[in-house]
A and B are shown apart, each in its own frame.
Chain A
């Protein structure tokens, strides 16, 4: 009995479809939320790491810095979007940073109003957000190449990616390092004080980055011939 070539086996098609990985099936959505999840700003792209490591050791600092970073980066990239692309990259870097430094003044005032004393507790890491690697590195190479609305969505995801990571790391480090949450001490909580120091920050962020990479492998499939394998995906800087 020969098979009818015109009507292929529908079961085979279903099996072939189910062999596509989770990433392949939801590629459009996952690419839109890239900055927040699979290509997270801190855990995958390696941007703005200093702030998470040094000042991501209390929830209050983390929320304040996350908010300041969100406002500063979002408005800087949106404002510098209008700068013509004919200007060479080297000079656009100056314009980007000067705009960021200018916008820092209102952003710092707003953040101080919402979270009191953030300037004191965050120290120099609040103004250091001016030269953060998202603004300096990704503005020209990624954001300014897109159309305005998709750029805003991408930017919001990247900014949220940082905010979520710093808040989570800040919460964890404050809990384990001081036994408190937002300054409220939990009685008799065992603490490891060294978790508040920078070297623990590096190690904790490194371990979380490894967890994210493992999740990426699971979602995309680990086979080398799989084009969606994270190892074969595009350069993380772009």
Chain B
């Protein structure tokens, strides 16, 4: 859990670099609300002592701060944290027992409640006033894609996060580095991020929303919204994901597909979060489906291999005949000419 906090702080540093100290004030509000809510809820469920090295509420507060826009009203992260902890975490038993990712639930709630306040982004590098929410609004890549336009972001800007979006969800290079660090430290497994990107890339290539080619479509669909941030930090919460690696492959694939469907048909930029909530409910099902699928694939692969081994001579003779007649045809046609 400390690895996740460290990497989130790295992302926070980028957000502060682009948008100034206002992000830190939002974080302070989220953290204060998280500590107070955690204290009250632990007492209510009968747990008197807070577990050592339990940073889950800090992680929730960090994720909520980084996925909200940089110039958000200060009460918004507070409401989001309260909903996240009181609705998605403690009723299900607290640390390690939650079915849903708490930050996803809190953000999904405020995203539906006040969409006109949540999805207001500004250009990176803008000096934000510490206590005012007045900004010059800029469209995020997701907005532009939804309105059938083509965003104008070059590859370097995309990597460095120099485009409008949520406070911490744009720094692609830093997010990718954090993801690789967490995978190497075995804090998260590679299956889920890999399958999410595979599924979303498939959709980006097959259904291009921009007319400048495959590479651009792939880039814009990947950097837009909260896909990378969600794939690294939210889709790998250990208590919400399947336990088996086969289950995790199915989980990641389903998440990628639903996230893209929410992106095409959903109402706001938090499509990945809604998809995550639905697929979290299916994590046990993914485990069972993974085991059954692996069993069937193994059985049929064994049968196919057995069939090939038993009939290899006949198959080779037939192949020789087909290839031979094909070559003879070519030679005869060459001779006739």
Contact = CB atoms under 8 A, between A and B. Distances in A.
Q: Do A and B come from one complex?
A: yes
Interface of A: 192-194, 197, 203, 206-207, 210
Query: B interface, by DSSP: helix, strand, loop or mixed?
Result: helix
Contact of B112 (A194, A203, A207, A210): A194
B91 A206 contact: yes
The 3 A-B pairs of least Cβ separation, nearest first, read A194-B113, A194-B112, A203-B87
Nearest to B111: A194
B91 A210 contact: yes
B113 A192 contact: yes
Contacts of B79: 192
A203 B113 CA distance: 15
Contacts of B113: 192-194
B68 to A, nearest CB: 16
- Chief secondary structure at chain A's binding surface: helix
B109 interface: yes
Contacts of B91: 206-207, 210
Interface of B: 79, 87, 91, 109, 112-114
A177 to B, nearest CB: 10
Given A193-B113, A194-B112, 7 more contacts: A192-B79, A192-B113, A193-B114, A194-B109, A194-B113, A203-B87, A206-B91
Q: Which of A197, A203, A206, A210 has the most CB of B within 10 A?
A: A203
A192 B87 CA distance: 15
A174 B114 CA distance: 17
Nearest to B110: A194
10 contacts: A192-B79, A193-B113, A193-B114, A194-B109, A194-B113, A197-B112, A203-B87, A206-B91, A207-B91, A210-B91
B292 to A, nearest CB: 31
Contacts of A210: 91
A197 B113 CA distance: 9
Nearest to A192: B113
A4 B248 CA distance: 73
Contacts of A203: 87
Nearest to A190: B75
A196 B87 CA distance: 17
A210 B46 CA distance: 14
Nearest to A194: B113
A161 to B, nearest CB: 23
Contacts of A192: 79, 113
B117 to A, nearest CB: 11
Nearest to A191: B113
A206 B112 CA distance: 20
A127 B232 CA distance: 49
A194 B109 CA distance: 7
B135 to A, nearest CB: 23
Interface centre among B79, B87, B113 (most CB of A within 10 A): B113
B89 to A, nearest CB: 13
Nearest to B44: A214
Contacts of A207: 91
A197 B110 CA distance: 13
A192 B111 CA distance: 12
B15 to A, nearest CB: 26
- Residue from B91, B109, B114 with most neighbouring chain A CB atoms (10 Å): B109
Contacts of A197: 112
A175 to B, nearest CB: 16
Contacts of A194: 109, 112-113
Nearest to A195: B113
A194 B114 CA distance: 8
A192 B75 CA distance: 12
A171 B91 CA distance: 24
Contacts of B112: 194, 197
Nearest to A203: B87
Contacts of B114: 193
A197 B114 CA distance: 13
A4 to B, nearest CB: 45
A149 B165 CA distance: 66
Contacts of B87: 203
A194 B111 CA distance: 10
A210 B92 CA distance: 12
A203 B88 CA distance: 10
Nearest to A204: B87
Most interface-central of A192, A193, A206, A207 (chain B CB within 10 A):
A192
A80 B184 CA distance: 69
Nearest to A197: B112
A113 B328 CA distance: 95
A210 B86 CA distance: 12
A207 B79 CA distance: 17
B115 to A, nearest CB: 10
B311 to A, nearest CB: 58
A96 to B, nearest CB: 35
Nearest to A193: B113
B207 to A, nearest CB: 29
